[in-house]
Amino acid sequence: MARRSAVIGIGQTDYRKQLEVTLDGLVRWAALEAVADAGLTLADIDAVVIGKAPDALEGVMMPELSLCDALGAVGKPIHRVHTAGSVGASTAITGATLVESGRYERVLVVCYEKQSEGNATWALSGGRSGGQGAGGTFAPWIREYIRRSKAPEHIGWMVAVKDRRNALKNPHAHLHLPDITIDKVKESPMLWDPLHFLESCPSSDGAAAVVIASEDVARRAPHPPAWIIAHAKRTEFSSFPGRDTVRIQAGLDCAEALYKKAGITNPIEQIDCAELYVPFSWYEPMWLEGHLITPEGEGWKLTEAGETELGGRFPVNMSGGVLSSNAIGASGLIRCLEAASQVRGTAGDYQVDGARVALGHAYGGAAQYFAMWIVSSEIAPTF
Amino acid sequence: MAFPSREVAIVATSQTPSYRHFDGPEPVLIMRCVNDLLATTGLERDDLEFTIAGSCDYLSGLPFAFVQNIDGVGAWPPVYETHVEMDGAWALFEAWLRLQLGDIDVALVIGSGKSSPGHPREAFPLQTDPYVLAPLGLDPVSLAGIQARCLIDAGKATERDFAAVASRNRRDAMGNPNAQVTGDRSVDDLLKEAYVCEPLRRHDLPPISDGAAALVLVAGPRARDLVERPAWVTGMDHRIESHHPGLRDLTTSPSTALAASGAGVGDGPVDVAELTVTYSPEEIVLREALGLGDGVAVNPSGGPLAGHPVMATGLIRVIEVANRIMAGSAQRGVAHASSGPALQQNLVCVLQGGE
């Protein structure tokens, strides 16, 4: 029987372009904040798990080798995860697994990306210049979602505005756009129809870190732990004729496995808020449906009714989400740690009142990798 | 809580030959191993509850190269899967811990790499610190040469000792159908060759290889159901050292010694050891760090000097030990994997047969 684990410390850099900070400086910044929040120092850490998107984004091969000194990992195990855009959440799950296995008491999980050191769209196009980038991959699938669901075109604009307004409450966010409006979104240049410039994520620099600890350690932590109630991962092929790229089987399977493990039977009622990986506006309604939070065809209605705003029935991306900060390799961990922050009650101006159960999520590749966790202020929440 | 709480064993292994150039995609190498494992065990694809692979985008020069590899896994219906940008031996480490959680019993572990499309000696300097080391073009062969020079200067080894490692590995590899570099060359003969990177000669360096390896890891009684003599994983640990060569004593490997202690190498006799000796001088460093006496057979497969499919090399060491235990020719063995320049990061795994 696996033992319990919890997030007891959180650290984040700012996610703006940071030409003045090295890669070492970036990961150490987040790591030191996380261990301090946990009431620890780097010397107390048993093992380090590091995640990021492709090494080619910064041109450093297997960067755990050159970052181990900055992370205080010399003499310790350091483990490196890479599952494309889902990597941040996958790394968090590996960190939880290392503790749940009984092997380690305190694991430091660090994820980062420094997009200013490379050209992500080049790398995301398989290293071929002039490629389609991530938006070019996803836009046709988004159009298919719109066709099937008959969602009106303003849904994407609404998500873009909502997430940027949330980001105004988050000092770490890359984009602070106080004057954003629906009109500005729809008048911004079209990048990949139907995605406008302001419906797309930025290229950010940043690192995020959490300390995951065993139950014994978590109960002695100086601040409230976020108990990791369940985690799940699923992967499927990139493409094959007939693949449903809107309602993706791996996404459905991942959510089902996650809710079953957590004892959740009615996600929209039993989960208080979610940080979903939404790099392009339309993925909010698509994941609401694709992860069984709403019935098929109903996700956009929740968005349109304003129910995914702070104060709504099911707040999504209270921190501003990937649309406001996208340090790619860190983005999944940021979703997971923002979910943890909500149930710890430390989310500041974007705190969801009384958040008890929260969802952190990431996806990657050709929307084929999924990694999700449920955290709670209670070690054994009942529903 | 006592760790490990569950007994976990390797029940089947597979590896492709080490090819100088495999004329096909990496997923095919993986698929061959997976098909082989399913045939050997009688398991169905759906029985593999957790899949974890190790590979490196930079070898193929293609960001997200690992994504294609799931084509070789057979990810439909969708699978519970993850990936480390590390040698497959680290995938094994995570799988071993994952099975401790108790909810699943069967894991597929993969390591794969194709070095032939690129130029490893030009790519690997990108492993070094991008600010102070990479601009120097400090490649792994040069670093291995520095390590060899340190050993000679410290009086711990001679060029003849390095050649003896290479000569023995090539001879042993003649019995390994997967080996790439084989042959009966005497030490004196090898020492007549010119230097590649003084004091290293060609035989002190690994070949450039393509290949894959995979194994099935099973927890609890199911392991005994699947195979008569499973190779039990009794301990595993890995550690890293400072990245900066100037801060390290390259004649020793304290991270290997720590990992060996964590894995329990010294808790019993060692019949066989398969070590990631990518450059021949490393065997001298590793033998000492692992506390292996002269009587211990090291790299009876020929080791990485006979075949080095990067990212599978470490997992193949585990497989070579496991195969000997499952066959009954060894009772307890040590496998070692390494990452980074001059043995910066090291993993040690102890395997044992049943009582």
CB contacts of A373 in chain B (<8 Å) are none
Interhelix angle A283-290/A249-262, nearest 10 degrees: 60
Which helix (H) or strand (E) element contains residue A357? strand A357-364
Question: Which among B354, B350, B353, B336 has a CA at the least distance from the CA of B267?
Answer: B350
Nearest to A103 by CA among B67, B56, B2: B2
B63 Cα to chain A: minimum distance (Å):
6
Residue A134 clears pLDDT 90, i.e. is over it: no
Residues of B in contact with A234 (CB under 8 A): 78-81
A180-189, A348-357, B130-139, B265-274 — which is least confidently predicted?
B130-139
Same domain flag for B27 and B170? no
Supply the range of the domain harboring residue B180. 121-207+233-352
Closest-approach residue (CA) in chain A for B76: A236
Q: Is the pLDDT of residue A36 over 80?
A: yes
Measured between beta carbons, the chain A residues lying within 8 angstroms of B344 are: 65
Whether the pLDDT of residue B314 is over 80: the answer is yes
Number of other residues whose CB lies within 10 A of the CB of residue A378: 11
Distance from CA of B184 to the nearest CA of A (A): 36
Do residues B42 and B58 share a domain?
yes
A372-381, B10-19, B48-57, B112-121: which has the minimum mean pLDDT?
A: B112-121
User: CB distance A236–B127 less than 8 Å?
Assistant: no
Residues of chain A in contact with residue B241, where contact means CB-CB under 8 angstroms, are 74-75
What pLDDT shows up at residue A261? 98
Asked if B102's CB is within 8 angstroms of A62's CB, the reply is no
The answer to whether residues B284 and B302 belong to one domain is yes
Task: Give the span between the Cα atoms of B204 and B167, in whole angstroms.
Answer: 9
- Give the chain A residue whose CA is nearest to the CA of B123: A61
Residue B132 has pLDDT above 80, yes or no: yes
Q: Establish if B2 belongs to a structural domain.
A: no
CA B333 to chain centre: 14
Whether residues B87 and B98 share a domain: the answer is yes
Same domain, B97 and B194: no
Whole-angstrom Cα distance, residue A97 to residue B101? 8
Q: Which of B5, B84, B242 sits opposite A82 (nearest CB)?
A: B84
Determine which of A91, A121, A235 to mutate to test the interface with B (most B C-beta atoms within 10 Å).
A235
List the single residue in A59, A66, A75 with the smallest CB-CB distance to B129.
Answer: A66
8 A C-beta contact, residue B125 and residue B106: no
Q: Would you say residue B3 lies in a domain?
A: no
Same domain, B154 and B261: yes
What kind and span of H or E run contains A79?
A: strand A78-81
DSSP code at position A254: H
B120, closest residue in chain A (CA to CA): A61
Please state the rounded mean pLDDT for residues B315-325: 98
C-alpha distances (whole Å) from B70 to each of A257, A363, B96, B274, B315 are 21, 16, 20, 28, 18
Q: Which of B126, B136, B242 to mutate to test the interface with A (most CBs of A within 10 A)?
A: B126
Residue B16 is assigned to a structural domain of this protein? yes
Residues A333-355 have a mean pLDDT of 98
Split at pLDDT 50, 70, 90, the class of A120 is confident
CA B292/CA B303 separation, integer angstroms:
16
DSSP 3-state percent helix, strand, coil across chain B (nearest 5)? 40, 20, 40
Residue B330 located in a structural domain? yes
Does B201 share its domain with B213? Answer: no
Residues in chain B with CB shorter than 8 Å from the CB of A253 are 77-78
Q: Is residue B269 part of a domain?
A: yes
User: Is B1 inside a domain boundary?
Assistant: no
Dump pLDDT digits (tens) for A38-72: 999 999 999 999 999 989 889 999 999 999 999 99
Are the beta carbons of B94 and A94 separated by less than 8 Å? Answer: yes
Which whole number is the average pLDDT over B248-276?
A: 98
What's the gap in Å between the CA of A186 and the closest CA on chain B? 32
Are residues B75 and A237, on separate chains, in Cβ contact within 8 Å?
yes
Instruction: For residue A321, give the 3-state DSSP assignment.
Output: helix
What tokens does A15 get? 């996610």
Contacts of A232 in chain B (CB under 8 A): 80
Do B59 and B312 meet the contact criterion of CB atoms below 8 Å apart? no
Contacts of A127 in chain B (CB under 8 A): 61-63
Separation in Å, CA of B241 to nearest CA in chain A: 5
Rounded distance, CA B123 to CA B113, Å? 14
Q: Which residues of B touch A2 (CB under 8 A)?
A: 100-103
Q: CB A62 to CB B90 under 8 A? A: no
Q: A83 and B80: CB-CB below 8 Å?
A: no
pLDDT value, residue A129: 53
pLDDT, position A2 = 80
Q: Do A76 and B239 touch (CB under 8 A)?
A: yes
Average pLDDT for A13-18: 96
Would the CB atoms of A68 and B244 count as touching at under 8 Å? no
Confidence class of residue A123 from pLDDT cuts 50, 70 and 90? confident
Query: Predicted ipTM?
Result: 0.98
Start-end of H helices in chain A: 23-37, 64-67, 87-100, 120-124, 133-149, 154-167, 182-187, 215-219, 249-262, 267-270, 283-290, 299-304, 321-324, 328-344
Cβ contact, residue pair B240, A76, below 8 Å: yes
Extract the tokens encoding A122: 């080049």
CB contact under 8 A, A101 and B67: no
Q: What is the mean pLDDT of residues A120-124?
A: 74
Do A77 and B242 lie within an 8 Å CB cutoff? Answer: no
Domain A5-120+204-219: give its CATH code.
3.40.47.10
Q: Are residues B99 and B166 in the same domain?
A: no
pLDDT at A144 over 80: yes
pLDDT digits (tens, 9 = 90+) for A212-225: 999 999 999 999 99
What's residue A118's pLDDT? 82
What CATH number has the domain bearing residue B44?
3.40.47.10
Domain-located, residue B186:
yes
My answer on whether B41 and B64 are in the same domain is yes
Chain A's closest residue to B132, CA to CA, is A66
| pLDDT > 60? residue A1 | no
Domain ranges (residues) in chain A: 5-120+204-219
* B213 shares its domain with B257: no
Q: Which chain B residues contact residue A82 at CB under 8 A?
A: 57, 66, 83-85
- Give pLDDT, residue A130: 57
Does A375 have pLDDT greater than 80? yes
CB contact under 8 A, A103 and B341: no
Helix pair angle (A87-100, B88-99), 10° resolution: 50
Q: How far is B185 from chain A (nearest CA, A)?
A: 36
Strands A205-214 and B231-240: unpaired
Whether B227 is covered by a domain: the verdict is yes
Number of domains in chain B: 2
Does one domain contain both B217 and B202?
no
Pairwise CA distance, residues B350 & B332, whole Å: 7
Q: Are residues B89 and B156 in the same domain?
A: no
